[in-house]
Homo-oligomer: A and B are copies of this chain.
Amino acid sequence: MDAMISLAGKRILLTQAQDFMGPTLVPLLTKFGAAVVTDDRPLIDPDLPAQLVRDAGRVDVLIAHLGAPAPSTPAHEVGEDEWRLMFSAMVDPLPRLARAVLPQMIERRSGKILVMGSASALRGMKRASAYSAARGAQLAWAQAVGIEMAPHQVQVNAIAQNLVDNVTYFPPEVQANPRFKERIRWEMPLGRLVSAQEDSMFAAYLCSDAANCFVGQVFPVCGGWVPR
């Protein structure tokens, strides 16, 4: 392996490309040489994952980039709709994506899935039970599929991020809130939000061949909000 890490020649499929980390990921992955195939829709429609992969053709890396706005409902008031929304947007697409994309990776004995997940599944937060539960399903899924796919030379891993600067979860009005600033001061060893660039760079690294050694692993990217 050359010391030059790159994504040259890699076809990366990114879902929900205008939300969450999409606006930073696309140009960055492109800059490193990837051909990024994007779709902007949430993957609620059960047929969409198969269709996306069919349209994309060869997919070297799938970034399972599934987000939904985090509600702030007390745990005992979370209703069916909120629960269903969290899981249909962030969890149910996973096996559909797996069915669609893993066979070609297994056949080529090469490929990666990177789940852009959340550290809210690693450390409890108030008024985030539905969101956290869905994020927990993502991380456990990535761990399990990562172990299973490793012998096929297919690497599945997850980023568990929180307090990363992005419009979906930390829009300007949230960042300007004094209580939020106090929270950063107390909860965030880094002392600032992780930048979208930093988070996306790390994702890019995990998409590269340099990261072939990681399987079924969860990487916190949250400025020390969780230690491990």
Contact = CB atoms under 8 A, between A and B. Distances in A.
Nearest to A156: B75
Nearest to A210: B201
Interface of A: 1-6, 8, 28, 31-33, 46, 74-80, 82-83, 87, 91-92, 94-95, 98-99, 102-103, 106, 120-130, 132-141, 143-151, 186-187, 189-191, 194-195, 197-199, 201-202, 204-205, 208, 210-221, 223-224, 226-228
Contact of A31 (B2, B83, B127): B2
Copies per assembly: 4
Contacts of A219: 219
A144 B122 contact: no
Contacts of A216: 124, 189, 224, 227
Contact of A150 (B143, B208, B224): B224
A26 to B, nearest CB: 12
A28 to B, nearest CB: 6
